[in-house]
Structure 1
């Protein structure tokens, strides 16, 4: 769609301009008319215009006397305000030659001024030629999105995000127009390069909030990698310990499907729609899981609270997501027996982030979730190892981001 805005207070002149444009109008060309500065501002707030055909003599409000510099003031206002999108092409049409000269001296390097002379059709030919060329360029423009940030990190809790911020340098709050979520940006500084990182935490726990935030971060920042860190409930206390980091190789909503009534009980029939991470990311994690020295260093450097007396492990396998915190071991048993016996953890957000990244606009990021065990999804839930688990998750991410992730293509 090509949007054209005509800004003029003369009905006769507007009709003349429309007559010139009529042969160029197709289903993909839309014309809007504004008859004063104020109405033009309202239209420019509503949508983006590709072409603006502008009178220089314009009233502030329709019915008032036109101001000699009205059009120029409107352009300056639009150019200097974040509330308006500046048109790609501006064509000034004035019956005062002096006005066209003023416009040309100010804007002529990138825009066009046309002297409106009713006794000649020269202005018509020039306007038709300019608009036809502009429409052709706009319609044939291909928008290429490129990667903007190296990594985007999403957390479910603020305390998890704080662990990421502590590992970055030059951290600062980052505001995005028309988006009320809170973002931070910073860097990992390596010998080879600075790795740009943007992070945020959701307004609430759960898949819906994670999907929404991940989608916005991908749209706003176009990251090469989308990462989730934080804590989860483990399912295999005989094979894992508090603080061990689980790589969600695959994830799905373990409550998706339908519940049916059978005799005097309700039976859940699950629909598993598993989403998987990139095989190269799995390879990175397998390599790091064998690097016992790096994992031991991560554990030994934790000085902020209680840590278990076990070695830190990096485990790779399925992780399932659900809408609520699990404290019932029967739920864990049901997942392991009826869905996948190798599920390593249960939590509330990963599948939402994986879904957002899988169906994101291009260029899509590679995605991975690294969640550390803070409990075992039973009634013994506590917060003794929350900080340690948040820490190990963040530090494993830091190692992957600085030693393994590839940023050039």
Structure 2
């Protein structure tokens, strides 16, 4: 359903806009709302995410007032200021006054929106509006492949991990699902002309079973194109807070336990690794070429003193059923993959669930940060910092690399 809001006090002009929209959207489902003042537009923008707002620049603030030349700009400024409002995907300014268009041009250009000259004696404005509507229709066609959301973010626990995700600028709102006790949070990551629809939730407990169950539910309910797990992990090497992106994951507890005389019980591992998709691996590798983002993430942390430089690396992450405070066991896991960068409890479950879900299947990722090294010195001191670097890296990576035009779903 394509949703359009017309904010214009000229009834005749608003009707012409409606006629143009009906003409170009004849084969699509659409809904058009109309209001004649800035004050009356506010409830619409609080409650509905519009694909397009057609905004008259010379418009009254309230009913029974004269139009103001800064009326349209006032609405734009309110949109930027009020985080609880739903930021439209596109805004098109429409005015018959050339001088007003020039005065307001910079305000629109800052968000890559446009102003169109309205001339009732010409069809030029109709063609430009029509092209914008065609673009919106073509973008919406991405939903026909079955995806309804760009990105799902999963964490093992709400405390610290999901809390860190919800601190990202996403205009988050709770989204209840009938019969489902999980609390989902929906929002969007937005920067300039880039926008990703996002849903986030935490599992009921740590571990692969809970992570896999949540992944299956979030895929079924929201049909995301990407599923990403964030949070904390034990590092094999590196420093506290370092960001670990899994290029593959496996269950290090998978294998066979058997008893041999004179040797006793022995464990023969037989892991089956699930790799990161080649496309996502290439995107991560490209993104990591720039050190600037990681440096800015480190500089953005102001809650406590962290003495080390922040780094990000791509490599294997192993998952298991227990919290590790056992360095010899980590050394054993490393023996089976010398490139191992981290150990944790959920990633493999997320990867399995994404691979086993019904089509269209999402691509799964894991972005976790080091909070300890799985040894006797394990403590909670760096958990908040690790959760922050993990979620912040996801935010920057998503806006940089997951906003391809053909993938973006408004």
- Which category of TM-score, normalised to the shorter sequence, fits these structures? 0.5 to 0.7
Unmatched tracts of structure 2, length 5 or more: 1-143
Secondary structure of 1:150's aligned partner = strand
CA, structure 1 residues 333+350, in 2 after alignment: closer, same or farther (shift >3 Å)? same
Match of 2:213 in 1: 212
Native 8 Å contact 1:184 1:198 kept in 2: yes
Aligned residue pairs, count: 262
1:282 aligned residue:
281
Question: Match for residue 349 of structure 1?
Answer: 346
Mapped contact 2:171–2:188 kept (Cα < 8 A): yes
Equivalent residue for 1:336, pick from 322, 334, 337: 334
* Distance in 2 of aligned mates of 1:360 and 1:408: 25
Matched, 1:382 2:383: no
Give how far 1:407 is off. Answer: 4.6
Q: Does 1:315 align with 2:285?
A: no
CA distance in 2, matches of 1:265, 1:289: 46
Distance in 1 of aligned mates of 2:192 and 2:228: 22
SS at match of 2:147: coil
Aligned partners of 2:325 and 2:168: how far apart in 1?
A: 32
1:306 CA displacement: 3.6
Partners of 1:296 and 1:234 lie apart in 2 by 20
Match of 1:170 in 2: 171
Deviation (angstroms), 1:156: 0.6
CA distance in 2, matches of 1:303, 1:348: 28
Runs of 4+ in 1 over 6 A off after TM superposition: none
Partner residue in 2 for 1:7: none
Counterpart residue number, 1:148: 148
CA–CA separation in structure 1 for the residues paired with 2:364 and 2:171: 24
Is the CA contact 1:224–1:407 (under 8 Å) kept in the aligned structure 2? no
The alignment status of 1:400 with 2:401, answered yes or no, reads no
- 2:270 maps to which residue? 271
Structure 1 residue 304 displacement after superposition = 2.2
State the alpha-carbon separation in 2 of the partners of residues 382 and 328 from structure 1. 13
Does the Cα contact within 8 Å between 1:157 and 1:202 map onto a contact in 2? yes
Residue 145 of structure 1 deviates from its aligned partner by 6.2
**Matches of 1:193 and 1:288, distance apart in 2:** 17
Distance 1:256 1:169 in 2: 38
Report SS of the residue matched to 1:186: strand
Alpha-carbon distance between aligned partners in 2 of 1:380 and 1:215, rounded to the nearest angstrom: 35
SS in structure 1 at match of 2:181: coil
- 5 Å-filtered alignment, 1:221-236, equals 221-236=222-237
TM-score by length of 1: 0.62
Aligned-residue CA RMSD (Å): 1.5
Q: Quote how far apart the aligned CAs of 1:269 are.
A: 0.7
How many Å separate the matches in 1 of 2:225 and 2:404? 7
Which residue of 2 is the match for residue 51 of structure 1? none
Q: Indicate if the aligned counterparts of 2:156 and 2:203 stay in contact, CA closer than 8 A.
A: yes
1:365 and 2:325 matched: no
Q: Does the aligned pair in 2 maintain the 1:150–1:196 contact within 8 Å? A: yes
Q: How does 1:85-164 map to 2 (within 5 A)?
A: 146-158=146-158, 159-164=160-165
Contact 1:244 1:392 in 2 (8 A): yes
The alpha-carbon distance between structure 1 residues 216 and 391, as it changes in their structure 2 partners (threshold 3 A), is: same
- For the residues of structure 2 that align with 1:344 and 1:354, how far apart are their CA atoms? 17
Q: CA deviation at 1:182?
A: 0.9
Distance across 2 between alignment mates of 1:321 and 1:242: 19
Partners of 2:291 and 2:404 in 1: CA distance: 25
**1:292: how far off?**
1.3
Give the Cα separation in 2 of the matches to 1:399 and 1:246.
Answer: 15
Q: CA deviation at 1:193?
A: 3.5
Q: Indicate if the aligned counterparts of 1:170 and 1:187 stay in contact, CA closer than 8 A.
A: yes
In 2, are the aligned partners of 1:154 and 1:214 still within 8 Å (CA)? yes
Find the aligned partners of 2:300 and 2:278 in 1 and give their Cα distance: 30
Note the C-alpha offset of 1:359.
1.2
- Distance in 2, matches of 1:342 and 1:403, equals 27
Question: How big is each residue's C-alpha offset from its partner over 1:156-211, in whole Å with a ceiling of 9 and x where there is no partner?
Answer: 12111111111133211111122111110111112113311100000000000000
